[in-house]
Amino acid sequence: MKIALISGSHRPTGNTGRIARHIENVLQEQGAKTYLLDLATTELPFWDEGLWGMEGLSAKWEKTWNPIKAELESADAFIILSPEYHGMAPSKLTNFFLLLGNGDSAVAHKPALLVAVSSSAGGAYPVAELRSFSTKNNKMVYLPEHLILRNAGELFVPDVKPEHQASNEYLGERLNWLLAMLTDYAEGLHAIRAKGNTKVPAPKFANGM
């Protein structure tokens, strides 16, 4: 089982990337293979038609996007981590979803766990935004469950304060439950993809309605 984690924060020292690395360590301890794409340290160009092969624009995509796409294609499931910036998912994460394309994308009909990260009491808005719009054409499948990590600066840190001990234990247990669910969905959707009905008769049905 290979699980790809996408950290959507713009901040190299933010909580989202730190928590992504924590989850990656948990997965590796459980025996999973992982791939972490940290958008704070990976400079992806904004989408343009070079991704479709337009002359003069395609070279940068062959260098920057194709290796990432290969990692995503080999993954069985995904974890999407989003901070909340002014009530929104950040622009680098939105751009990532634009790059996934449509039809038989690297993430099509594969499960994803959505994790929202907030340094305060927020986190709900990115969940609503990403569930509403981010998978229309690329056909990634979000689990019916998601995880919102509030007061993230106090979570999964070496020296947990006594007043945050209970929340760390609860969220650690909930995370393990969700990772087990993600694995089950990955196995189930692999069987569904194998039947062949998820293949898109492009371009007729490449875009979702």
- State the DSSP string of the chain: -EEEEEE--S-TTSHHHHHHHHHHHHHHHTT-EEEEEETTTS-PPPP-GGGGT-TTTSHHHHHHHHHHHHHHHT-SEEEEEEE-BTTB--HHHHHHHHHT-SSS-TTTT-EEEEEEE-SSS--HHHHHHHHHHTTTTT--EE-S--EEE-SGGGSS-SS--GGGHHHHHHHHHHHHHHHHHHHHHHHHHHHHHHHSTTS--TTTT-S--
Query: pLDDT in tens for each of the 209 residues of the chain?
Result: 999 999 999 999 999 999 999 999 999 999 999 999 999 999 999 999 998 889 889 998 999 999 999 999 999 999 999 999 999 999 999 999 999 987 678 999 999 999 999 999 999 999 999 999 999 999 999 999 999 999 999 999 999 999 999 999 999 999 999 999 999 999 999 999 999 999 887 778 888 88
CATH 1.20.1420.30 assigned to domain 2-195? The reply is: no
Instruction: Quote the pLDDT of residue 138.
Output: 95
Instruction: Quote the pLDDT of residue 104.
Output: 72
Is the model's pTM score more than 0.85?
yes
Instruction: Quote the pLDDT of residue 200.
Output: 80
